[in-house]
Structure 1
Amino acid sequence: MEIRGSEGIGDRYIRSTFQSLVQAIIPSSLIIAKALGPVQVPGALELKVYKYVMWVLDHSIALPAKMKINLTSMTKSTVELLDLGAVQLVQTAQNVYPLHINEFPDGGPFSKLSPVDRLRALALLECCEWSLEKVSPPYQNNPGLIPNMIDVINQLTLFGFYSEWTGYGTTEQFSPEMRRVEYFPTGWILSHYPGPSFAYRDFRGFLAYMPNKKEKN
C-alpha cells in the first residue's frame, strides 16, 4: 500500500497516522486530584510524542544500511504497514467500532479506525499471516521483523511520553547534543520523578582493601 501524492500531502498523511498511533497507545485521561478535583491529563497526542517516534524511526538506521535495503523512509514504510493491518482488520470484520472518518482527515485506513481498533490492528500485525510483498522495506517479505517493530512502537511512545522529550520545547528536533530541557516535562510530573540531581552524593558501599600477595610474606 503505497502513499502517493506530493511531498506535502505525504508528510501530512504520515504525521496524521503517527498522531492516531500515539493517541491510541496513551490517550488523554481524567484523573481526580486532591486539591483541584477532576483534572484532564494530556495524552501522547497532546504532548506531540508522535514527533519523537517519527524522529527516532527516521534516525535509527544508518544511511549505508538504508541504501543496502533500498529504504527511503522508515516512517513511510511503517505507515504502509499500519494501513495494511487496518485494512485486514476491517476486511475480516474484526473492528469493534465504526470508522472515525473526520478525526484525522489527512490520514489513511489506520487513522480512520477507532482508538480501540487501532490497538487491535497492532495486535493483528503481530501475528501477520498475509503477503507482505506490497509493503516497502524493511518489512517487505519480512514477517519476523513485524512483532519486534510493534514492540518498538509501543516502547518509543512510552519513552517519549515519560522522558524529558516533552520538555525540550524549541530544541526537540535538534541533534541530541544540542537539546535542552526548557521546562519540566509532563511525564516527570505524572510519574513523580523529581528530575536529575547533579553531583548527588549517596552511599555506594564500603571501600574494599585487597592485600598484595607480597605483603603476606
Structure 2
Amino acid sequence: MEPHVAELKQKIEDTLCPFGFEVYPFQVAWYNELLPPAFHLPLPGPTLAFLVLSTPAMFDQALKPFLQSHHLQSLTDPVDQCVAYHLRRVRQSLPELQMEVIADYEVYPNRRPKILAQTAAHVAGAAYYYQRQDVEADPWGTQVCAYTPNLGAGLPSAVSCCCQGQRLQICHGKSPLTVYLLELPELPCLKASISIGVIGLTGML
C-alpha cells in the first residue's frame, strides 16, 4: 500500500475503529470497470475511496452510546443516523480534504442505487465470492437428490455460493461507503483474501 494511502487509512481508522467500524481503501476505477455505465460512480477513476463497514461490535461501541446521547431524530433509521454521525466525525478530523459520503441505502430518483456495496466490498478486498470451484476437496461430487425444491426430481443437489468477508464467519449487508476525493493515479491493486477466516461486514442484515 502506498505510504500516503496507508497514512490516510490510519487516520480514518483512528476515528472509526474504536467504535466498531473497519476501513478498506480502493480506487474508483476498480469499481467502475466491473459495472455497466449506469452504475458507475460519477467520480474520476484515480479517486481514492474507503469502504466503511460496521462489525457486530458497533452496536455496543457506537449505537448504544449514540442512542443514550439523545442525538436521535424521529422518522429515520437509528443505525443510519449513528453511522452518519461517526462519518461526520471523520470529516471534522480531516478538514483539509474534500470528501463525499455515499450510503448504501441512497438511491437516485429512478430508484437506482447510488452504490452497490457488495461490489465495493469485493474490489476493496473486504469480501470474496466463494463458489464451488473454490472448494479444493469437493464433497458433493455428482450426487443427486430424489427431490430438490424448485428444481424438480433427480437433478443434482443445489450447492449455494456465498459472499463472505475476511475475518468473521458471518456475512451481513454492507454499511455506508465513504468516498474521499483524492487523486491517486498509481494506486496498486488490492486483492481480496481467499482465506477461510472471514469477516462480518456489518451488524445489520
Query: If each structure's strand is expressed as a fraction of its own residues, which one has the higher value?
Result: 2
Query: If each structure's helix is expressed as a fraction of its own residues, which one has the higher value?
Result: 1
Please, what TM-score do these two structures have when normalized by structure 1?
A: 0.25
Q: Which has the higher contact order (CA 8 A, sep 6+)?
A: 2
Please, what TM-score do these two structures have when normalized by structure 2?
A: 0.26
